[in-house]
Amino acid sequence: MPSMKDLQGRDRPTWCPGCGDHGVLNAVKLAMVNYNIEPHQLLIVTGIGCGSKLPQYMWVNGLHTLHGRDIPIATGAKLANHKLYVMTVSGDGNTYGMGLSHLLHAARRNINITSVVQNNQVYGLTKGQYSPTSEAGTVTKTSPPPAGAIEQPVRPLALALIAGATFVARGFAKDPRYLSDLIGKALLHRGYALIDVLQPCVTFNRVNTYDWYSERVYKVEEQPGGYDPTDFAAALEKAQEWGERIPIGILYQVERPTYEDHLPAIQEHSLVELGVHRDMAELERIKQEFM
């Protein structure tokens, strides 16, 4: 079992003091400790943004890729070595803007990867423009007053559910222990898992602060009468609840065959175990067939 010290990165985070990303980093490490996931067993693929720098600040396999393209690259990595835990970690702009179509296809395929999304409702790295999850009316440099943002926000958990995700959850960066449990369970889950994380950006989002979220969040499993995470209709209702009350926890979890389950070529071995094809004469013969 790795310790928190084993997972310590060489670089110190450059995030602003108080940024919710510090809590997410802690939660990822805690999940690895508590769920016994060694650094060599996990690949974290990220896009571009403040949150996407996360694997640089810990000891793990990390692949920092292109804006919005972390999910297809994670999909390729998973198919090449389906014995690896593969997780994407990126912001709301990256994942629910440019990367949204990839999320929907990963969900319908039920590829066995996990996406953790640091949702701070702004583009943090590029200095605070409004993002796909900014509420209508949000005033930023790119959504000026009096109207502010004129679009309705994306409701990512509802979209993931409709698209076919088999694990849909929300965490809060202020509670890394609770979030780590969601991450650990998502990694062990067989199928596509989305965890939306309420992640305050203390520099550019002065509305959705730690206090703003703390006054609203509640854990679904603690609500009167309990909660059944296999009930799709209930999950869809919770996924759209936003404003006065914001649910966190596992909103939905069911079993369905994964994308990899349907691929005969990787049932016995992962592709990386098969090695490089070295029969040059055979390769030449195949080439000639296409000449």
Ligand X SMILES: Cc1ncc(C[n+]2csc(CCOP(=O)(O)OP(=O)(O)O)c2C)c(N)n1
The answer to whether the beta carbons of residues 209 and 217 sit under 8 Å apart is no
Out of 65, 85, 92, 173, point to the residue binding ligand X (CB under 6 A): 92
- Smallest separation (angstroms) from ligand X to the CB of 206: 15
> Which of 54, 70, 47, 48 has its CA nearest to residue 19?
54
Give how far the C-alpha of residue 241 lies from the chain's centroid of Cα atoms, to the nearest Å: 20
Which is nearer to ligand X, 128 or 184 (by Cβ)? 128
Q: Which residues bind ligand SF4 (CB under 6 A)?
A: 15-16, 19, 21, 50, 120, 124, 201-204
CB atoms within 10 A of CB 211: 10
CA angle 142, 171, 159 (to 5 degrees): 65
To Mg ion, the closest distance from the beta carbon of 120 in angstroms equals 4
User: Residue 119 or 258: which CB sits closer to Mg ion?
Assistant: 119
> Which is closer to Mg ion, CB of 93 or CB of 200?
93
For residue 93, the minimal CB distance to ligand X (Å) is 3
Contact 122, 134 (CB under 8 A): yes
Q: Using CB under 5 A, list all residues that contact Mg ion.
A: 91-93, 120, 124
Q: Which is nearer to ligand X, 75 or 120 (CB)?
A: 120
Task: State the Cα angle at 219 between 98 and 24, rounded to 5°.
Answer: 45
How do 61-64 and 42-46 pair as beta strands? parallel
**Strand, helix or coil at 286?**
helix
Which CB atom, from 79 or from 125, has the smaller least distance to ligand X?
125
16 contact choice in ligand SF4, Mg ion, ligand X, none (CB below 5 to 8 Å, kind-dependent): ligand SF4
Applying CB under 6 A, which residues contact ligand X?
48-51, 67, 90-94, 118, 120, 122-126, 131
